[in-house]
C-alpha cells in the first residue's frame, strides 16, 4: 500500500523556488551570450545537422556504372513494404542482359514509415535509405517520388553507383 505524502506548509510557499529557477536561467543566458560557440543548439533552419551515412532518411535508387537505373523491378521491396507505399511498373528492356527494368518507380513518402524494409529486401542494392531527411513541404508539393527524384536528384550529383553490378556478377559466374 502506497501512502500519498501531502506537501508540507513550507513547501507550498513557492516564491523562493521561482526565484532560484529564474536565477539559473539568467546564469545560463549570460554564459551563452559570452560563449556562443559552446551552445549545443542549432539555429535551424539556417544551420542543419548532418547525420551519419547509416541514417535512414530519404530513399535513393542506385544506378549502374553507365548511369542507368540498377533496379530490376523484382517488386520485393513493394512486397515487403508494410506501409504499401511503393508502386512499380515493370517493362521489358531491349538489352537481353538487362531483361527487366522499371518504367515507373513511385514512393508515396506520406505513407512511408522509414522502416528500411525495402533496403533489406532488395537483392541487388538498388534502393538505399540515404542521409537526407527533410521531407516537409507545402500543400501541393510533390510527395510521390518518381525515378527522376529518387535516382537523379541534384543532391546525388549524378546518382549513386550500386555495389552489385550485373557485369561483375556475370564475370563471377553468378
Partner 1 sequence: MPKIKINGKEIEVAAGTTVIQAYKQAGIDICHYCWHPGLSVAGVCRLCMVQIEGMPKLQIACNTEVKDGMVVNNTSDLVKDTVKWGLDFHLINHPLDCPICDQAGECGLQDQYMQFGAYDPEMAEPKVKKAKVVDLGPTVVLDSERCILCSRCVRFTEEVSKTNELGIFNRGDHSEIGVVPGKPLDNNYTLNTVDICPVGALTSKDFRFRQRVWYLKEADSICPGCSTGCSVKVHYNEEGLWRVKPRLNPEVNGYWMCDVGRSTYKYVNLKARLISGKVGKRDSWNEVSPEDAARSAGLRLREAVEKHGADSVALVVTGQYSNEEYQSLFKFFTGDLKSKNVFHWQNHPDTVEEFDGLLLRGDRNPNTKGLQAEMKTAGVQARWENLQTGLSGKKFKVVLVAGPEDQSVFPDLKEKIQMLSGAESLIWMTACGNADLDNAGGETWQIPLKTYIEKSGSFTNFKGLVQPFKTGTTIVPQALTLSEATELLAGRDIDWNLRPKGLGGAKVNYATGQRGTL
149 sits near partner 1 (criterion: CB under 8 A):
no
Using only the alpha carbons of the chain, give its radius of gyration: 26
Phi/psi at 40 (5° precision): -80, -20
Sole binder of partner 1 in the list 23, 27, 67, 99 (CB under 8 A):
99
**DSSP annotation string for 114-155:** ---HHHHH-SSS-EEE-S-------TT---EE-HHHHHH-GG
76 sits near partner 1 (criterion: CB under 8 A):
yes
Task: Using DSSP, state whether 54 is helix, strand or coil.
Answer: coil
Among 26-34, 55-63, 83-91, 127-135, the segment contacting partner 1 (CB under 8 A): 83-91
d(CA 58, CA 147) in angstroms, rounded, equals: 13
For partner 1, what does the binding mask look like between residues 14 and 53, x meaning CB under 8 A?
A: ----------------------------------------
Give whichever of 85 and 129 is closer to partner 1, judged by the CB atom.
85
Sole binder of partner 1 in the list 96, 138, 139, 155 (CB under 8 A):
96
CB of 83 to partner 1, least distance (A): 10
Q: Measured between alpha carbons, how far apart are the two ends of the chain, in Å?
A: 68
Using CB under 8 A, list all residues that contact partner 1.
Answer: 72-76, 78-79, 84, 90-92, 96-97, 99-100, 123-124, 170, 172-174
Amino acid at each position: 500500500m502506497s501512502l500519498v505524502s501531502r506537501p508540507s506548509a513550507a513547501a507550498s510557499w513557492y516564491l523562493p523556488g521561482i526565484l532560484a529557477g529564474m536565477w539559473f536561467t539568467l546564469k545560463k543566458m549570460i554564459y551563452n551570450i559570452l560563449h556562443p560557440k559552446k551552445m549545443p543548439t542549432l539555429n535551424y533552419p539556417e544551420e542543419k545537422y548532418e547525420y551519419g551515412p547509416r541514417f535512414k532518411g530519404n530513399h535513393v535508387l542506385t544506378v549502374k556504372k553507365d548511369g542507368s537505373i540498377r533496379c530490376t523491378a523484382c517488386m520485393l521491396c513493394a512486397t515487403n513494404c508494410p506501409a504499401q507505399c511503393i508502386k512499380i511498373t515493370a517493362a521489358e528492356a531491349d538489352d537481353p542482359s538487362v531483361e527487366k527494368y522499371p518504367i515507373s518507380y513511385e514512393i508515396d513518402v506520406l505513407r512511408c514509415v522509414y522502416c528500411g524494409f525495402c533496403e533489406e529486401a532488395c537483392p541487388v542494392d538498388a534502393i538505399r535509405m540515404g542521409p537526407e531527411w527533410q521531407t516537409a513541404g507545402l500543400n501541393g508539393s510533390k510527395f510521390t517520388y518518381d525515378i527522376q527524384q529518387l535516382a537523379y536528384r541534384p543532391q546525388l550529383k549524378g546518382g549513386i553507383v550500386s555495389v552489385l553490378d550485373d557485369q561483375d556478377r556475370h564475370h563471377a559466374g553468378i
